Amino acid sequence: MGEIFIFSSKNSIRFTKLKCTILNFLFFFVSWIWWPKTYLKLFPENKWSGSLNMLSRVSRRLIQAHQYYIHQLWEERKQNLSIKIDNNYYFQEFFTPTVAHMFNLTMMIYDHSNMDIHVIGLSEDQIGKSLANGKQIFHPVKHDSQLLINATA
Amino acid sequence: MWYRSIFGSIILFSCCFILYYFQTHLSFNTHSLSIINKNIHHTAIILARRPSIKILKHLNALINVGVNAYLMCDENPSKYMNITKRILYVNDESLAQYGLTRNRVWDRVFIWLYNQSSIDYVWLMEDDLTWTNVQHMVNLFNKYANNSADLLSRNIIHKNNQTLG
């Protein structure tokens, strides 16, 4: 009985780990699920970009590009009140890298070797394992983690 | 005659010693100063729905290591304003001027940044990002202090499949 329990809990942990790995793999490497469903002349499809910005750095040039395109989108809506702009155009995960692409601004992925960054909330157990693997920065941590108590020190 | 040479050597040695001392002393000060300046020049904004104790502690941790840190809220934080002046808020009317009606914290932070021309680079972090020690964040900021990329992100995907990673 004990062996069965150990076997099933090990399988459960493995399954959860596998599920997280698959989800993160899909999210980071395979597909981007928030592309707009409609097209605007303002943003040619070949410029569409997506980025996950739970931690990101933006430059003054990108902020100005952002302001320019927010203004352009607003003008487009004002000029043609009947136009229905897909909400995905406004999501920062789409808008920020796409306007950077429109202005040919430089985009770069930072070194995340010491980070454990996911889309699904990290449990205390996962944080513990990541700490053992030398990770130092975590996302998303929704709870008051006892393992990361020094974060606020 | 010989004592004149010895005296000259002593003077020369003393001058070299004084110069060496000042050089090492000044270079140490410059190094310390550059570390401090690097920290001061980093600007970071935490994006949160409302200021919780945990988030305020994160903000405080960043400020304590010299980061010019702020907290942008999604709700009017007037009752927290007496705790710190580092809490930012952009009201819905200001968003509406740009046609933004979703009233999200990401929209608020960009509207605020439009008018902050003195900020060349700013780190934006969601409130559920955390760390084992705040120094790891400073190390990351320092690592890219001289990098001119306009967008630094965890991953960037292009629709035409030129995925960066």
- pLDDT value for A101: 96
- pLDDT value for A124: 86
- pLDDT value for A80: 76
Same domain, B9 and B31: yes
Domain extent at residue B58: 42-143
A15 pLDDT above the threshold of 70: no
A:7-26 residues touching chain B, CB 8 A cutoff? none
Residue of B nearest to A74 (CA): B99
A37 lies in some domain: no
**Contact B153/A52, CB-based, under 8 Å?**
yes
Whether the Cβ atoms of residue B32 and residue B56 lie closer than 8 Å to each other: no
Among A45, A53, A57, beta carbon nearest to B159: A45
Same domain, B63 and B5: no
- pLDDT value for B28: 40
Domain extent at residue A92: 45-102
Per-residue pLDDT tens for A28-84? 555 677 899 888 889 999 999 999 899 999 999 999 999 999 999 999 888 877 677
B151 lies in some domain: no
- Give the mutation candidate from A30, A57, A88 for the B interface (greatest B CB count, under 10 A): A57
Tokens of A128: 């513990």
B:52-81 residues touching chain A, CB 8 A cutoff? 54, 57-58, 60-61
Percent of chain A whose predicted confidence (pLDDT) is above 70: 76
Same domain, B48 and B15: no
B10 lies in some domain: yes
- pLDDT value for A18: 52
Same domain, A67 and A97: yes
Residue B85 contacts A, CB cutoff 8 Å = no
Stretch A126-147: mean pLDDT, rounded? 86
- Cα four-point dihedral sign A122, A127, A130, A136: positive
Per-residue pLDDT tens for A18-38? 555 555 555 555 567 789 988
Q: Which CA distances in Å does A3 have to A7, A29, B25?
A: 6, 38, 67
Whether the Cβ atoms of residue A125 and residue A145 lie closer than 8 Å to each other: no
Same domain, A98 and A116: no
Whether the Cβ atoms of residue A68 and residue A105 lie closer than 8 Å to each other: no
Q: How far is it, in rounded angstroms, from Cα B89 to Cα B115?
A: 13
> Peptide bond before A140: cis, by omega within 30 degrees of 0?
yes
A36 lies in some domain: no
- pLDDT value for A28: 53
Give which of B47, B75, B127, B145 is closest to A96, Cα–Cα: B47
Same domain, A61 and A93: yes
- pLDDT value for A26: 52
**DSSP state letter for B133:** -
Q: Into how many domains does chain A fold? A: 3
Q: Into how many domains does chain B fold? A: 2
A12 pLDDT above the threshold of 80: no
For chain B, 165 residues long, give each residue's pLDDT as a single digit of tens. Answer: 666 777 677 776 675 566 555 554 444 444 433 444 444 589 999 999 989 888 999 999 999 999 999 999 998 888 887 788 899 999 999 999 999 988 789 999 999 999 999 999 999 999 999 999 999 999 999 999 999 999 999 989 998 875 655
Same domain, A49 and A95: yes
Same domain, B57 and B106: yes
